Structure 1
Amino acid sequence: MRTDGVMTALARASAFTTVIAACFTGHAAAQSITAVSYGGSYQKASTEAWYEPFAAATGIRVDVEDFNGGLAQIRAQVEVGNVYWDVVDLNASDVTLACDEGLLEYVDPETLPPGPGGTPAEDDFISGTLSDCGVGNVVWSTIYAYDANRFPGARPETIADFFDLEKFPGRRGMRRVPMANLEFALLADGVPTDDVYAVLGTPEGLGRAFDKLDTIKDQVVWWEAGAQPPQMLADGEVVMSTAYNGRIFNAQVLEGQSFVIVWDGQLLDINQLAIVAGTPRLDEAMRLVSFASTAEALADLGRRISYGPARESAGPLITTHLETGVEMGPHLPTHPSNMARALRRDWTWWVDNQDELNERFSAWLAR
């Protein structure tokens, strides 16, 4: 139920958005810029919440392309001096690496719009969501989920249950990468959230994670695309699967699937909007980043897909799902009820160790 405070905030948001639109409209604009995202329901939500309203406010058409993440295409464009991507939605670990390599433009946080109450951007964004080259947009998580219809009795409740083949027999779905799987393995093996990366950073701890994965390896169905886990659950190919929380939310709310998310041990991640270094449309790209990073725009996204906003002031503006009317709070990774044993991904640790662990993981899979 909406409170009077939320209604007041929404009214302020509407007025603020009108002012922002008027300001943007007054600038001379390039004909178009290109924004790059991950496709699927997230890209659809981003287009409706950010790109289309920005185009309407400025006259700058936003051409949206999708990709599977990573830096290969950005590197290629920057290295040959032919930059045709402008704004890219990247995982924070990729932003860190790309910024170090000089592939992204610096973003001055003082140029970002304040919160609805005038709070400076640097004080309004959640800690760690702003960086030298990235502006936080969403907080999402890797979780695991199951189909309630397949568990008429006891049901999984913890990350340890995902690895318990005796209590909950059946195949598991996991992404074919070390990231998230290693963290889940240590959490399931009893390592406290605060100690996961310290343990993972030792030879003994890394071995412990792989040993835990060994206990279910012959029951794992590996997935590579975010659309696969909901489909594998619906088809009965697996009894539970790791997945991106937004994909499971859509299956629950839009498709009526009886899926249940287990939030225990969820791995929190942050995405950031970044600008490709050398774009000839730098001013327009920065205007898009500023527009999309307002509390109002982030809340508009949060009413379309269950990813938490990177700004504190956006949270109260997220009420119900625009299409179905479902209360969004309990479906957001950042909701207090879901944060009891959440682990925040250490992007710096992964930047330093990813190549080595990708090789080790590939060798482990081949054994």
Structure 2
Amino acid sequence: MKSFLTAALSATALVTSAGLALAEGPLTVTSYGGAYAKSQETAFYKPFTAATGVEILQDEWDGSTARLKGMVETGQITWDVVDVEPGHALQGCDEGWLEEIDYDKIGGREGYVPGAAMDCAVATIVFGTIFAYDVDKFPQGGPQTMVDFFDTAKFPGPRAMRKAPKTTLEMALIGDGVPAAEVYEVLSTPEGVDRAFAKLDTIKGDVKVWWSAGAQPPQLLADGEVAMSTAWNGRIYDAIHNSGKNFKIVWDGQGMDFNLWAKPVGGKNSELADRFIASTLQPAPMVVQAGELPHGPTLLSAIAEVPAEILAELPTAPQNMENAFVVDAEFWANHDEELTERFNKWLAQ
């Protein structure tokens, strides 16, 4: 890890040395806390401060837009860079409280995983919605594909799925044989939506738990309540590597999603914020973060530099993206309300 940190410091120094010899700031970067923020501190904040002398102040938010919008509307902006989700990025662009990214200032818009470079935010990590199973429940061999997840005859046992239409409907279509690359083309039609719900009908009786919190799937598996569950990849990784659980992730049909940097409109340290963001969008610091948490880098050049044994467990490993879909933030911005209403009615039937 020390060599990774050295490389990150070097990369940051290259990005920031031109025109930033003296410390400025401080710069306030807002994220989500916990192990994720700790990985950002190791990979991004400390190297940037070491290279520039600029102090990074950390703040935390829960993803609620009211506080961020309120800052912009009142002109009382205390955040310089904010870690956002794709939905925030779309809404902030549409409503005018997030700045458009000037990609000329941060190294260009090419070379990213599809979907990572948005108009008002740029992603540093990819996390995956996958499914995982308890290996001990399948001594003859466990499921290998999303089709297998929906095959309760071949792979019997109770399931758990996320209590939300997002990723659940996409996975239902993939489980029905739709290639991941075509899932939104199908889901964008009334017939496609009907097809997704029809596929969910086939498994509804076997879904013992509809989960809403990320901590639930590994606990349900550990307690033996279910044999397999959809989940966020980091939660299962943690259960395997830090709690010794005999679980296995199935990457086929995974839904890839992002965390992204954005800037509130009117921030007083806009240029310095650009320099910070540019310093994180380099292979070396992304490799460092990948060694801290099982999140995939968004730069293709960074993916190529992650050690093979680490890369194999990340959403952006080439083999793990073979039949994956990028969660379409625009699709869900347009259809989340209606599909959530239908999904909840379906659950209640």
> Normalization by structure 1: what TM-score?
0.84
Q: Is the 8 A contact 2:11 2:282 kept in 1?
A: no
Superposition deviation, residue 12 in structure 1: 6.7
Match of 2:125 in 1: 138
Out of 311, 315, 340, which is 1:329 matched to? 311
Match of 1:324 in 2: none
Using the alignment, how far apart are the partners of 1:43 and 1:266 within structure 2? Answer: 24
Out of 212, 234, 250, which is 1:224 matched to? 212
Out of 27, 36, 43, which is 2:37 matched to? 43
> Structure 1, residues 231-255: CA drift from partner, whole Å, max 9, x if none?
2222222211111112222222233
1:342 and 2:324 equivalent? yes
Superposition deviation, residue 20 in structure 1: 4.3
Superposition deviation, residue 359 in structure 1: 2.1
Out of 330, 336, 339, which is 1:357 matched to? 339
Using the alignment, how far apart are the partners of 1:328 and 1:242 within structure 2? Answer: 22
Out of 273, 280, 296, which is 2:261 matched to? 273
Name the CA shift for 1:86/1:59 in 2 (closer, same or farther; >3 Å): closer
Structure 2 counterpart SS, 1:231: helix
Using the alignment, how far apart are the partners of 2:79 and 2:8 within structure 1? Answer: 30
Using the alignment, how far apart are the partners of 1:170 and 1:311 within structure 2? Answer: 39
Superposition deviation, residue 360 in structure 1: 2.0
Using the alignment, how far apart are the partners of 2:19 and 2:83 within structure 1? Answer: 22
Superposition deviation, residue 25 in structure 1: 6.5
- What letter is aligned with 2:44? W
Superposition deviation, residue 227 in structure 1: 2.4
Match of 1:125 in 2: 112
Name the CA shift for 1:126/1:168 in 2 (closer, same or farther; >3 Å): closer
Q: Is the 8 A contact 1:143 1:266 kept in 2?
A: yes
Match of 1:310 in 2: 298
Superposition deviation, residue 353 in structure 1: 1.3
- What letter is aligned with 1:89? D
Superposition deviation, residue 278 in structure 1: 2.7
Using the alignment, how far apart are the partners of 2:218 and 2:161 within structure 1? Answer: 12
Which stretch shows the higher mean deviation, 304-313 or 12-21? 12-21
Using the alignment, how far apart are the partners of 1:51 and 1:64 within structure 2? Answer: 13
Which stretch shows the higher mean deviation, 129-138 or 174-183? 129-138
Using the alignment, how far apart are the partners of 2:347 and 2:84 within structure 1? Answer: 27
Give percent identity, aligned residues only. 42
Superposition deviation, residue 352 in structure 1: 1.6
Superposition deviation, residue 44 in structure 1: 2.6
Name the CA shift for 1:27/1:366 in 2 (closer, same or farther; >3 Å): farther
> Structure 1, residues 269-311: CA drift from partner, whole Å, max 9, x if none?
2332111223333334333322222222111111112222111
Name the CA shift for 1:61/1:214 in 2 (closer, same or farther; >3 Å): same
Out of 147, 156, 162, which is 1:160 matched to? 147
Using the alignment, how far apart are the partners of 2:113 and 2:181 within structure 1? Answer: 19
1:89 and 2:83 equivalent? yes
Match of 1:99 in 2: 93
Name the CA shift for 1:76/1:314 in 2 (closer, same or farther; >3 Å): same
Name the CA shift for 1:314/1:210 in 2 (closer, same or farther; >3 Å): same
> Normalization by structure 2: what TM-score?
0.88
Q: Is the 8 A contact 1:137 1:270 kept in 2?
A: yes
Structure 1 counterpart SS, 2:83: strand
1:298 and 2:286 equivalent? yes
Match of 2:307 in 1: 319
Name the CA shift for 1:228/1:301 in 2 (closer, same or farther; >3 Å): same
Structure 1: which 5+ residue stretches go unaligned?
Answer: 1-6, 114-120, 321-326
Superposition deviation, residue 159 in structure 1: 0.7
1:33 and 2:28 equivalent? yes
Superposition deviation, residue 22 in structure 1: 5.2
- What letter is aligned with 1:199? V
Q: Is the 8 A contact 1:70 1:94 kept in 2?
A: no
- What letter is aligned with 2:118? S
1:366 and 2:348 equivalent? yes
Superposition deviation, residue 153 in structure 1: 2.1
Using the alignment, how far apart are the partners of 1:276 and 1:303 within structure 2? Answer: 29
1:241 and 2:235 equivalent? no
Superposition deviation, residue 24 in structure 1: 8.2
Q: Is the 8 A contact 1:34 1:84 kept in 2?
A: no
Using the alignment, how far apart are the partners of 1:312 and 1:20 within structure 2? Answer: 18
Q: Is the 8 A contact 1:250 1:305 kept in 2?
A: no
Name the CA shift for 1:215/1:77 in 2 (closer, same or farther; >3 Å): farther
Name the CA shift for 1:70/1:240 in 2 (closer, same or farther; >3 Å): farther
Superposition deviation, residue 142 in structure 1: 0.8
